[in-house]
Amino acid sequence: MKLNDEVRETLLDEVTGLGDEELNKRPSSGGWSIAQIMEHLYLMERAVVYNIQHALENGSIKEVSSKPIELTVNRSRKVEAPEFVQPSESSMTLKDLQRKLQTSHEALRGIYTTVDQERLVEKTAVHPVFGEMNLFQWIPFVGYHEQRHIDQIKEIKETL
């Protein structure tokens, strides 16, 4: 969780001082606004929490190899976000986005601090890019995924 906490702090620092208009402005080259990226990160973290909880309750015990989740930060390979983590077209405020991200982060922390690590390692869930991963690897994946999008936010900020 240390990686996730550090990356989340970096994300929040990166958007500090941006007004709602800047947050919701879409790049001229197309793609998501900074607000949409932040909503996507919230939706992704919330989905990971749900998937971990579901797999803990319903999943079977299975040994899988460790996946190279650190490659998530490599943005040279474009990955289409699944529909359930696609952000809305609605304008959002920084305060609302921060609140959502805090809620999802606390839920992930709750799993990390209350579930025995051995249970997280022995149960799995399928990742759309990496395939079947143990639940323990899903936790740092969230941090790497967020770092990927922080780099995207930095690029957008340069064009604002």
What's the rounded mean pLDDT across residues 30-43?
96
Rounded to whole angstroms, the Cα distance separating 37 from 22 reads 13
With respect to residue 144, please indicate whether it lies within any of the assigned structural domains.
yes
Q: Which domain holds residue 114?
A: 1-12+38-78+92-158
pTM of this prediction? Answer: 0.94
Domain count, the chain: 1
- CA torsion angle for 51, 118, 59, 57 (degrees, to 10)? -70
| Closest to 142 (Cα-Cα) out of 56, 19, 50 | 50
The CATH number linked to 73 is: 1.20.120
With respect to residue 114, please indicate whether it lies within any of the assigned structural domains.
yes
What's the rounded mean pLDDT across residues 117-137?
95
With respect to residue 46, please indicate whether it lies within any of the assigned structural domains.
yes
Give per-residue pLDDT as tens, 3-16: 999 999 999 999 99
Rounded to whole angstroms, the Cα distance separating 14 from 7 reads 10
With respect to residue 85, please indicate whether it lies within any of the assigned structural domains.
no
Give per-residue pLDDT as tens, 43-100: 999 999 999 999 999 988 989 999 999 999 998 888 888 899 999 999 999 999 999 9
With respect to residue 23, please indicate whether it lies within any of the assigned structural domains.
no
Give per-residue pLDDT as tens, 100-118: 999 999 999 999 999 999 9
Confidence of residue 138 (pLDDT cuts 50, 70, 90): very high
With respect to residue 87, please indicate whether it lies within any of the assigned structural domains.
no
DSSP class of residue 134 equals E
Q: Pick the residue with more confidence: 20 or 160?
A: 20
DSSP symbols for 52-83 = HHHHHHHPPB---PPP-GGGGG-TTS--PPPG
Give per-residue pLDDT as tens, 148-157: 999 999 999 9
With respect to residue 17, please indicate whether it lies within any of the assigned structural domains.
no
